[in-house]
């Protein structure tokens, strides 16, 4: 069976996109990144994608009367590229329910918190303000409700008393780059899938160990 043709949507720096492209350079990886699309002309990730060898990297201009018209063009571009999976990687525009419905089960996102805690923006700031001891990141299938779709994978990060928003974000980002490629591999190979509004995982072992913070 061929590798799953995958598109990545970005709005900015694109470090998660780069992690996906890097993982997919291995021929044994079950997905290949064939297109990167940005909604933002200044997205530095577009150059990174081209430098990493993704020929099909471009911008969808934002001159549309409404979100659904924009999403129709986005959908067409993805279908023209013959894509079967779509990864949101720092894509900062809310997708229309129409688009989400069309790609349901084939559309995944990464979010910088242990969902369902801290949906939306400024997750690291909120975790620090709450005095959370453990924070992290989550990959999930996208559903129409923002950051609320079925969870696929999570990684936890201990919060240090000295942490600032930036230092915590950096450690969480490292983990994002670990779990996003793994998530894409699980979904592309069919080991993780959306069924009846939940994420079903096949062939996973029992969880080992636990994370305790502070670990004294
Ligand atoms: C990441 O923290 C991701 O979880 C969030 O937006 C940020 C994007 O960073 N959705 P990058 O563009 O992948 O570097």
Q: Which residue, by CA, sits nearest to atom 9 of ligand 1?
A: 90
Closest CA to 137 of 115, 119, 122: 115
Cα separation, 136 vs 149, whole angstroms: 17
pLDDT of residue 214: 87
Looking from the CA of residue 110, the nearest atom of ligand 1 is 4
Looking from the CA of residue 12, the nearest atom of ligand 1 is 12
Mean pLDDT (the chain) is 95
pLDDT at residue 63 above 90? no
pLDDT digits (tens, 9 = 90+) for 140-198: 999 999 999 999 999 999 999 999 999 999 999 999 999 999 999 999 999 999 999 99
Closest CA to 50 of 65, 40, 69, 37: 37
Q: Which residue, by CA, sits nearest to atom 1 of ligand 1?
A: 90
Q: In the chain, pLDDT over 70 holds for what percent of residues?
A: 100
pLDDT band at 115 (very low <50, low <70, confident <90, very high): very high
Answer CATH for 110-216 from 1.10.10.10, 3.30.70.260, 3.40.1350.10, 3.40.50.170: 3.40.50.170
Closest CA to 93 of 76, 74, 113: 74
Looking from the CA of residue 16, the nearest atom of ligand 1 is 13
147 lines ligand 1 (CB under 6 A): no
| Ligand 1 center to 17 CA (angstroms) | 9
pLDDT at residue 1 above 80? no
pLDDT at residue 127 above 80? yes
pLDDT of residue 112: 98
| Ligand 1 center to 1 CA (angstroms) | 31
**Active-site residues: which are they?**
111
140 lines ligand 1 (CB under 6 A): no
> From the CA atom positions of the chain, what is the Rg in Å?
17
Cα separation, 188 vs 41, whole angstroms: 29
181 lines ligand 1 (CB under 6 A): no
Per CATH, 1-103 and 110-216 having the same topology is answered yes
Where are the chain's structural domains? 1-103, 110-216
pLDDT band at 42 (very low <50, low <70, confident <90, very high): confident
Cα separation, 156 vs 32, whole angstroms: 27
Q: Which residue, by CA, sits nearest to atom 5 of ligand 1?
A: 90
Superfamily of the domain at 1-103 = Formyl transferase, N-terminal domain (3.40.50.170)
7 lines ligand 1 (CB under 6 A): no
14 lines ligand 1 (CB under 6 A): yes
């Amino acid at each position: 069976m061929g590798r799953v043709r995958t598109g990545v949507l970005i709005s900015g720096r694109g470090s998660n996109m780069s992690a996906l492209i890097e993982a997919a350079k291995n021929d044994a990886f079950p997905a290949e990144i064939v297109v990167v699309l940005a909604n933002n002309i200044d997205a530095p990730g577009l150059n990174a994608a081209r430098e990493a060898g993704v020929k099909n990297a471009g911008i969808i201009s934002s001159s549309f009367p409404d979100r659904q018209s924009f999403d129709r063009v986005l959908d067409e571009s993805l279908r023209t590229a013959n894509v079967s999976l779509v990864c949101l990687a720092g894509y900062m525009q809310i997708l229309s329910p129409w688009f989400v419905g069309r790609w349901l089960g084939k559309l995944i996102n990464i979010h910088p918190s242990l969902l369902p805690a801290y949906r939306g923006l400024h997750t690291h700031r909120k975790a620090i303000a709450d005095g959370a001891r453990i924070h992290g990141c989550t990959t999930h299938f996208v559903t129409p409700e923002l950051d609320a779709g079925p969870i696929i994978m999570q990684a936890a990060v201990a919060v240090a008393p000295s942490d600032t928003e930036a230092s915590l974000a950096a450690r969480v980002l490292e983990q994002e780059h670990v779990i996003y490629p793994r998530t894409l591999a699980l979904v592309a190979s069919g080991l993780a899938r959306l069924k009846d509004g939940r994420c079903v995982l096949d062939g996973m072992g029992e969880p080992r160990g636990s994370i305790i913070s502070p670990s004294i």
